[in-house]
Amino acid sequence: MSDKILSLIYGFSQKYTDHKTNLEFDPKNNNVSAIVKDGHVNISLVINNNNDQKYNEISSLLKQDIQGIPDVLSVNVILTSEKSESKSDSRFTIDTKHIIAVASGKGGVGKSTFAINLAVALKSIGMKVGLLDADIYGPSVPRMMGISGRPQANENKKLIPLESYGVRCMSIGFLVSNDTPTIWRGPMVMKALEQMFNGVEWGKLDYLIIDLPPGTGDAQLTLAQNSKLSGSIIISTPQDVALIDARKGINMFKRVNVEVLGLVENMSYFICDNCNEKHYIFSKDGARNEAEKFQIPFLGSIPIDKKLRVQSDEGKPCCIDEPDGEMSKRYISIAKNLNQSLSV
């Protein structure tokens, strides 16, 4: 019975979305879920604060419909809300035209590599760029950008970002020692992020690129609620195990009203030195198809490239080391497209 009820609930919810409310109300976005046990139905709806009256109406309509199904003994509808702060409420201030959060569901998919290369690519097309490494679990921007020093404070007690390849860089790694195991709790994440915005002399920027920690935790929510994010870019490898988590990231950003600017597929394939053929090691076109399903832009794919790994390890991003190389062209094309769509 529960399968039948669940499919009816989903059918009803879509009906209300389309014909009665015009609200986004879609199980695919995880804003409706239901548990059915022994004829008792518990439905949970994640609502947008601004529309709570409409949702109350839906809730009673939904309840009536489900009560009409044979064998249903009781129906309980719970409305929960995700607080969506108005963008003008932002507490983290910085003088920049755009703030872009680079995110991934899983670690190790190439999020930091993308963030630094995007920052350098934007710089190479003439933008003033800041790079904020907020990856509390493994800050890698200093190493990948070839930075060895530590930022100094100016007369206003603000930290001066360290500039590398023309990009102003600040890392959470500068605030904690590399070897100290750090357990990050919500308020600590909030404090550290606030310090990296308000406590840093960023100057005037066109873009601030943020390398987020993987997953959907405190750093993502803190930034969504306290800074004027222009949007997020999600990095994923093409295989299902990474895409499942990438999906959670997309849904989380949608719920907190942060636009997903696009999905990038990393480690799309590997071209073998011997046979010169493409090998789709982590499956083919997974992220491209996912972008289509979610109707978000697909920003491009980056193959597995040994040189890219070496350049990251040596602190020389590809757009610096080999500005005319194939990899640089891909990053620069993504940077140009992004810049164009954001200027519109």
Q: Is the dihedral angle over the CA atoms 130, 325, 235, 231 positive or is it negative?
A: positive
CB of 108 to ligand ADP, least distance (A): 5
Helix (H) or strand (E) holding 236: strand 231-236
Burial label, 291 (beta-carbon count in 10 A; 0-12, 13-18, 19+): buried
Q: Is 103 in the site for ligand ADP (CB under 6 A)?
A: no
> For 129, how many CA atoms within 13 A lie in the half-sphere containing its CB?
23
Nearer to ligand ADP by C-beta: 106 or 128? 106
| Whole-angstrom Cα Rg for the chain | 22
Q: Helices 218-226 and 240-255, interaxial angle, to 10°?
A: 30
Could you say which of 4, 7, 28, 108 contacts ligand ADP (CB under 6 A)?
108
Give the contact letters, 113-152, x = binds to ligand ADP (CB under 6 A), - = no.
x--------------------------x------------
Q: Is 104 in the site for ligand ADP (CB under 6 A)?
A: yes
Nearer to ligand ADP by C-beta: 39 or 325? 325
Q: What is the distance between the alpha carbons of residues 319 and 312, in angstroms, rounded to a whole number?
A: 11
CB of 299 to ligand ADP, least distance (A): 14
Nearer to ligand ADP by C-beta: 108 or 166? 108
Residue 293 near residue 307 (C-beta atoms within 8 A): no
Q: Report which residue type is found at 253.
A: F
Nearer to ligand ADP by C-beta: 36 or 299? 299
Could you say which of 31, 164, 220, 312 contacts ligand ADP (CB under 6 A)?
312
Q: Is 305 in the site for ligand ADP (CB under 6 A)?
A: yes
The structure tokens listed for 324 are: 């005319």
Q: Which residues bind ligand ADP (CB under 6 A)?
A: 104, 107-113, 140, 266-267, 302, 304-305, 308-309, 312
